[in-house]
Amino acid sequence: NVCRLLTRRAHGFYARDAGVAHRKNLGLLRRIMCQESTKFKNVWTTHSASPIAYERGRIYMDNYQCCITSIAQQPRLIYQKSKCAKSEKIEDALLLECPLGEMLPNPSDYKASLIVLTVQNWLLRLSADSGEVLEKVYLAGSCCKFFRYLSWDTPQEVMIVKSAQNKLPATARQAGIQQTVLFYLAVFQVLPLSFIGMLEINKKIFGNSVTDVAVSNGILIVMYSMGLVRLYNFKAILEQFMEQPFDLGQEFNWNGQVGVVGKYPFGLPCNIKITDTPPLLFEASSLENAFQIGGYPWHYIITPNKKKHKGVFHICSLKDNALAKNGIQDMKCCSLEPDWIYFHPDMSGRIIHVGPNLIKVLKLKEVKNHADQMEIAEDFTIVANRENCVNNSVTVTASGRVVKKRFTLLDDDPE
């Protein structure tokens, strides 16, 4: 129980292994949160007209101009910057943490920083403690004007900057002008920040029905309008189709353009040209292109590509597409927002299934006496014990008739 674990920790049982200590601490937290006697109280409330973001104990508001730490007993302000102009609006952000055991060129690299993408296509690295600009890179040259999204290929190592989908104006389409380039992807190594390359996703290579692309763990994921998802080796693409490497700050003469890499107004050169369709690693069909890979051995999660299966998740082996035992997960809930499922980002192989009033933590394990078959087992569940608050409102119509309306405080409860 909790008391026993606390006593063993106080006696130094886990002092020699930080990993064991961390797991035990999380186990303590889980037991405290899941026991029925635990009660939670509201210690702080705030409101914001713009979206509120959260990254590793920091709360960002007012388009990342205000930063509040949530680690202390009472949240406190870390920094508050003056309101920015619309031209400096931040589109997306990632928290960058210092890698362990590496020598870095600048003292500021050893502290956490925030990488942000502005509406004017500037990539900025800000101090997480003060909001001060540490580095800035201009992204958009003549090829692309609308970079909008940041994501990790390899967390805390390789970053992807993705453009919005290129769409021609209606007048250009009516004139018969064809738009073949759908997206641009810029690839960076972080700490120190360095440019790897930029490539385009072209209809001529990947097909006309491409709706979106993503990069994760060395895999290029291409999504299509019919629900098809295709995977390609992203590292092999970079190596095979790289025309010429460039460094940030390097002067270049590229396709008739002369400038400095990462500086205004030239931005970044598109130095990776995919001239042939790369070898296909894997493909699957899923409703709304919902597709995830994780676990050990590798498994993937999809929703069958029919609207009647919305909210039903199939967990299958990546090796042979076999459905895992108990691999169909369906909460059968009805709420304002659908339930969702994902592999836990801690690489433990656990699967988190979140519904309107409970969280199920699942895990992959071998079927007894069948080492080649996996099953989905429930590790533990967190249930939200809501108070059944019922409000009765009375309305009097113009004719004097009394109308009573009964409703619950929360309108997203399952049926």
Residue 74: inside a domain, yes or no?
A: no
> Which residue is associated with the tokens 């009765």?
392
Residue 325: inside a domain, yes or no?
A: yes
pLDDT of amino acid 415: 47
Q: How far apart are CA 26 and CA 22, in angstroms?
A: 6
For residue range 350-387, what is the model confidence (pLDDT) as tens digits?
999 999 888 999 999 998 888 788 999 999 888 876 66
Residue 304: inside a domain, yes or no?
A: yes
Q: How far apart are CA 54 and CA 60, in angstroms?
A: 6
Contact 247, 194 (CB under 8 A): yes
Q: Where do the DSSP E strands lie in 3-142?
A: 53-55, 58-61, 66-69, 76-80, 90-96, 113-118, 122-127, 133-138
Domain encompassing residue 9: 1-36
Residue 231: inside a domain, yes or no?
A: no
Q: Which residues of the chain have pLDDT under 50?
A: 411, 414-415
Residue 69: inside a domain, yes or no?
A: no
pLDDT of amino acid 16: 64
> Which residue is associated with the tokens 């995977």?
231
Residue 359: inside a domain, yes or no?
A: yes
**Domain count of the fold of the chain:** 2
For residue range 235-247, what is the model confidence (pLDDT) as tens digits?
999 999 999 999 9
Q: Which two tokens stand for residue 389?
A: 């608050």
Please tell me the pTM assigned to this model.
0.82
Residue 358: inside a domain, yes or no?
A: yes
pLDDT of amino acid 84: 83
Residue 143: inside a domain, yes or no?
A: no
